[in-house]
Structure 1
Amino acid sequence: MKKGILFSLLFSATSAFAQRSFSKNELSINGFRNPSIGLEFRHRQVSIHTGYYMTAVSQNSEGNPENTSFIRSGISFWFLPVGRKANPSSFYSSLSYVRGLNRTYKDQNGLMVDAGFRWMVWKGLNVRIGAAMLAAPNHTLKLNPVGGISYSFFFN
């Protein structure tokens, strides 16, 4: 019984801290790769994103990586804010639907899961680093590093 109460108190304190630490609303213009080249809207600890995504999931006949393009839309969860800035750096995890635009993924559906860290560099400028796993029918799982550059506008 005491463990349950302790867990509830810790969870409540963590949730309360996170709610105060993240801005209420955020609109990000994502300029490079993660989660996609597109837009993302965050409300407290949950965001939705959509845009164009490319990654190297295959190699050509000479062994060089080839970029494959997707349309990507999904949801992200933000947690463990770091620092004392008004808009802190934090960790994230994401689940996305992807639709292939070319190569062996053309017109195919898939799911992408990724996790990483977003560092708030200066004002709204931020960079991300993480890893993503792509799953699609008739393809092997692909694990790739992902990075991103974005600028965010905050609405509290």
Structure 2
Amino acid sequence: MKHLISAFLLLASGTAFAQSDLKQNELSINGFRNPSIGFEYRHNQYSANVGYYTTAFKRGEFSNFVKVGYTFWFFPSGNGPIPSSFYAGSSYMRGLNRNYEGKNALGTEVGYRWVVWKGLNLRIGAIGVSAKGQSFKVNPTPGISYSITL
């Protein structure tokens, strides 16, 4: 089932959803969790991100990862220089502690980025994480970022 969900998310990010409103380059500084605490560079409908990711699969027990990912943006809305948009992505994650320490994991996520004011944006989504020897887990992924166009 987890592979079916991952395959669906990757297929959903195909060019059938490409939009012409996402034509600029953008650099984002991500300050909380989605896609990670780090940096993201977007060119047209595609972006790459790198950073530190933390999540609680169990209440009060945080699992930490280094995360490198790729995202596809679709269905932009709004008239500003940076549009709000839906996204789907996939990430390589390397566990840093708890049950994931030293393990490789795959993260697949979907959600929506709402540009609140100028470059300030909020994200809400969900991530599915799979790793060898661990059960497939799904968690919400809120985020806050600041983006500038290049």
Bin the TM-score by the shorter chain. Answer: 0.7 to 0.9
Name the residue aligned to 1:81: 76
* 8 A Cα contact 2:120 2:147, kept in partner: yes
Query: RMSD of aligned C-alpha atoms?
Result: 1.5
Where does 1:1-156 land on structure 2 (aligned, <5 Å)? 15=18, 18-19=19-20, 21-58=21-58, 64-155=59-150
* 8 A Cα contact 2:120 2:146, kept in partner: yes
User: SS of the counterpart of 2:99?
Assistant: helix
User: SS of the counterpart of 1:104?
Assistant: helix
Whole-angstrom distance in 2 between the partners of 1:143 and 1:136 = 12
Name the residue aligned to 2:6: none
**Rg (Cα) greater in structure:** 1
Deviations 1:8-41 (A, max 9, x none): xxx88x74xx22x124200000000000000000
Name the residue aligned to 1:4: none
Q: How many Å apart are 1:84 and its aligned residue? A: 2.1
Counterpart of 1:93, as a letter, is A
**More off after superposition, 81-90 vs 49-58:** 81-90
Q: How many Å apart are 1:57 and its aligned residue? A: 1.6
User: SS of the counterpart of 2:141?
Assistant: strand
Deviations 1:54-80 (A, max 9, x none): 00123xxxxx43001000001000000
* 8 A Cα contact 1:23 1:154, kept in partner: no
Deviations 1:101-149 (A, max 9, x none): 0011000000000000000011100010001100000000000000100
* 8 A Cα contact 2:80 2:118, kept in partner: no
Whole-angstrom distance in 1 between the partners of 2:39 and 2:97 = 22
Q: How many Å apart are 1:45 and its aligned residue? A: 0.3
Whole-angstrom distance in 2 between the partners of 1:151 and 1:77 = 18
Whole-angstrom distance in 2 between the partners of 1:86 and 1:42 = 13
- When the two structures are superposed, what TM-score results if normalisation uses the length of structure 2? 0.86
Counterpart of 1:45, as a letter, is Q
Counterpart of 2:44, as a letter, is R
User: SS of the counterpart of 1:149?
Assistant: strand
